[in-house]
Structure 1
């Protein structure tokens, strides 16, 4: 064999050995990185499972708290509504017009609070509170608000007036939700209006 051929074969052998060494080194490095990645994924999975368990536990505690509070508030409210109804029926003693008006307002607001508690309890149980949509007259909401807030405004020395413009057409939506918003706005307006 010629010297040139021997050198060529030797160079090829060395190149092949060098390539095998590099490939082996890279394979070991990839294996090490893969093991590290698997360990990181496993650690993250453990942390995520723990976070999920904490979140689920907090959610259960919140639901239990809401349900318990709703039940605790509903019991005395039912008694208040019952006694109000008895008084309005004249079972206790005859009522004057002013007393009747106050008791009717008390009954209306008690029923409103009862509905809020029922919705809160329903939300705690279902985790989703879907408003009920039905046709209603906006004037009925406004009249109810006037009954509640006219006296409160008068007690603060404020005037409270409602005027209707145009025809009172039925509106399809959630009367309860709109009533909550309206009462919240009026309550804030009364509270924040300077005397």
Structure 2
């Protein structure tokens, strides 16, 4: 060892202390040696000075070494302790090592070589024990810190769980309130619409031009308000899981033509072209016609609302895997890519301000997405600001009973048989474009 060591020798025999001093001098160890002759002096020296090692005689005049070692450890004095024993005291020395001594050495074996070897070994063992103790303490502190963090995380988890339960209850109450209010609002709104239509009938008396205009405004605003109420009611039913699909055999092309016909007046008012393109070998599908119509009305309403000039296309085509795609394309204002992830959120619109140009509840696309998911379908969005948007819906040609919560009845089985037989009749159709154009002419 190159460093200078401070060593304490505790022995009441001057001759034995001299022998240890001589052996340490001859060992070549750089040291500063201190000597005391009893246990109390040893305690005082060790409390007031820092030593690297202490050699302690097993038999001290004022107290036994076992008591001395326990006293040192009770005072948190931790240094390498080497017990010096007489012949035959080895078993006692082993017991002393169990309570804190690092090593022992028989006085009959004291020499420069053995003393240096024992000294180095004692210091190495003690330093290793100190490092292990420090590491253990750090590990213990880390463990306690982890326990505290886990307790804090558990407390936060419980708080989050409580908040989630409160939010779920609030959401349930909100949905229940919306459903109740929507239902209650529908009755007076239907009455307003009904009486407005009666007033416009000639047999109930003629109205002046100004009166007719006012009643028509009442009627149009009533219909618009009823549409908003219906959206809220449908959304609350979807949230509560109370809305069910009622699948039946329907003609998809006929539904599209009907919806486009109903929406054409809105498009004409803005001088927009409304174009239909079919590429269907067989337009028959099994689905809920009212919900398919609702999806198309919402998509077309949005397309017309957000398009100031240009055209709107409604396209339907067959897909592999007995599926069908319906797309609504417009040349409107478009949607920024950063808003794609929010566009299907309930009550969410790109412009959330109260002075926004385009009004609405912000439920249309959320309802569409929920209905498409119920039908085991997918919805895709392509859009570019200033260019336009394309909403594409992919649906199975026959929704399963699990999607609609309606058991497959004999009627549905008959519908499937009708689809299969119709598909056999269309196995050798003319080219798709010719078929499409011919079908359009028949519909018109």
CA–CA separation in structure 1 for the residues paired with 2:188 and 2:251: 30
CA–CA separation in structure 2 for the residues paired with 1:125 and 1:181: 20
Structure 2 match to 1:194? 309
The structure 2 residue matched to 1:121, chosen from 221, 226, 236, is 236
TM-score by length of 1: 0.65
Superimposed CA distance per residue, residues 160-181 of structure 1 (whole angstroms, 9 cap, x where no aligned partner): 5657666552124454554333
Structure 1 match to 2:256? 142
Structure 2 match to 1:17? 126
- Which structure's residues are more often strand, by fraction? 2
User: How many residues align structurally?
Assistant: 180
CA–CA separation in structure 1 for the residues paired with 2:131 and 2:280: 87
Greater Rg over alpha carbons, structure: 2
Q: CA RMSD in A?
A: 4.1
Mapping 1:1-195, distance limit 5 Å:
1-3=109-111, 4-78=113-187, 80=189, 119-126=234-241, 135-156=249-270, 160=274, 168-173=282-287, 175-191=289-305, 192-194=307-309
- Over 3 Å counting, the alpha-carbon distance change for 1:164 and 1:87 in structure 2 is farther
Report deviation, 1:82: 7.6
Report deviation, 1:32: 0.7
TM-score by length of 2: 0.33
Contact 1:149 1:160 in 2 (8 A): no
CA–CA separation in structure 2 for the residues paired with 1:163 and 1:14: 93
- Which structure's residues are more often helix, by fraction? 1
Contact 1:123 1:129 in 2 (8 A): yes
- Over 3 Å counting, the alpha-carbon distance change for 1:71 and 1:147 in structure 2 is farther
Superimposed CA distance per residue, residues 6-65 of structure 1 (whole angstroms, 9 cap, x where no aligned partner): 322232222222222222221111111111111122222222332333233223222321
Q: Gapped runs of 5+ residues in structure 2?
A: 1-108, 205-218, 311-444
CA–CA separation in structure 2 for the residues paired with 1:28 and 1:154: 82
Q: Which has the higher contact order (CA 8 A, sep 6+)?
A: 1
